[in-house]
Structure 1
């Protein structure tokens, strides 16, 4: 039976109004199967131009839009948890404010959810200066066993592509405030709880790779987050001692190498490793 869909889209002060417009229109107006509600979470104060664009998009939307306005910037995880509370429907799709959904995205993903799956992601196309400037592809594992195995080493879902059941997300505690890796932690909590998982290899989202994308994947803050999440996985008994040591050495080391090496390592090791 067809189900209704809420689209969850966080916005913060660093987002550009024109990018937000592209993200919104591609995920609402241009979808062959439109969402039934949009929840925009304004994560703290935003510049006047961005606030005006949010209001314009909400006013011109073909589906109802609820804007959740947080008084201060709380970070992605807590902002998404606030947005989930405002979603009317159990099925929720994620979207970022600078990416682009392909027109058939929800027409592909919703039947999979309706078949009994709790979370489904997809492949994505990375682009540079404009949407046609495709510079890479991320193809996730599609077999449920492969998704669970992949999760023991790296994130098995492309976060901006996922559609999931809100009830399952809330049952494991939501995103919480786990900066830099809140989505990865959430997927593992869902897997440990027995969630039914799926991915579509086909790219259904175009992901904007801005300047400094690989630089942001390194540094001491990322290393601290990496060590913290690996300890959490071990506490869940999701990883073995050997997998914990491997992950700390490989993924922790990845955070400390120069950006040029990190770019190469991501493509050759992190993005393709099969646990």
Structure 2
């Protein structure tokens, strides 16, 4: 069982079709030695739970858990990790599709390069399965370690890692967003080897709810805090609570950010909003965060 993989997934409000396709894409991997642990973080969604139980009955590699209440992605994943049996753990999102050789290619790449965690390049798809972009992630650990100081460069649902990394890093911290970025910075600081495979191994879905500037701003706020605290010698899980309590006080410019990256300045109102961003002390940094995310992570389109 040295090469067995525990795949972890959390569901909340994804479409039934997406969840079914995501699960099937894992079960149909060329690397068959796996278990799929799925946590339903929306106990009131009986439709999703019914689908999950049907999948579990058909394939004994699936194990389903339902939270008593919504506890968030980070806590749901930590719970899933606690149920994993195997030496390697892979991440998967309930609205993405893994290509058939994903786990086989990543396992071989991780072992041959003596890496501790590997991601992969992705095809970006929309809610209608149309291809709208492709990732352009760095490959080598040296490039990744450098870029991680500024932005995330491993797609979370492509991770394959040694399970002991979660133990050493004490799992995910419960930020509302950017939990994966925080985890990567912490294991980078501990000297673990982080890499990406050059191959495209996942169809990565960009949902309409993730396109708007409100979510990108929340990610920026969280990422700024994470970068700051990871440079601090006092960073620990208690810092997350402090951030969640003070985020709105620390970032006052969120009300004037109303546009996604790449929008054309077709009105005086839009020009005014752009001008206000650059007048704010954090506005330029926010704009550069969006720009770097686009250039470093996707050849076309934006980010999830």
Q: TM-score range by the shorter chain?
A: 0.7 to 0.9
- The Cα RMSD (Å) is 2.7
Aligned residue number for residue 217 of structure 1: 215
Distance 1:218 1:263, change over 3 A: farther
Q: What's 1:120 paired with?
A: 118
**Equivalent residue for 1:86?**
83
- Alpha carbons 1:138, 1:271 under 8 Å: kept: no
2:267 corresponds to 1:270 = no
Q: In the superposition, relative to structure 1, how do residues 263 and 2 fare at CA in structure 2: closer, same or farther (>3 Å)? A: farther
Task: Supply the distance in 2 between the matched residues of 1:175 and 1:87 (Cα, whole angstroms).
Answer: 15
* Structure 2 equivalent of residue 60 of structure 1: 58
Return the TM-score normalized by structure 1. Answer: 0.84
8 Å contact from structure 1 (residues 6, 89) kept in 2: yes
1:39 — aligned with what?
Answer: 37
TM-fit CA distance, 1:218:
3.0
State how 1:157-176 maps to structure 2 within 5 Å.
Answer: 157-176=154-173
Unaligned runs of 5+ in 1: 239-251
Residue 196 of structure 1: CA displacement?
A: 1.4
Unaligned regions of 5+ residues in structure 2, if any? 236-250, 265-286, 298-304
Distance 2:296 2:96 in 1: 25
Q: 1:223 to 1:147 in 2, by over 3 A?
A: closer
> Take 1:254 and 1:180, find their aligned partners in 2: how far apart are those partners?
19
Change (3 A) 1:54 1:254: farther
Q: Which residue in 2 is equivalent to 1:259?
A: 259
| Residues 1-275 of structure 1 aligned to structure 2 (within 5 Å) | 3-12=3-12, 14-28=13-27, 30-61=28-59, 63-115=60-112, 116-131=114-129, 133-215=130-212, 216-219=214-217, 221-235=218-232, 257-261=257-261, 268-273=291-296
Alpha-carbon deviation of 1:263? 6.5
- Distance in 1, matches of 2:61 and 2:253, equals 43
Q: How many residues align?
A: 256
Query: 200-209 or 90-99: which moved more?
Result: 200-209
Q: Secondary structure at the match of 1:38?
A: strand
Report the TM-score when normalising by structure 2.
Answer: 0.77
Instruction: Work out whether residues 91 and 156 of structure 2, in 8 Å CA contact, stay in contact via their aligned partners in 1.
Output: yes
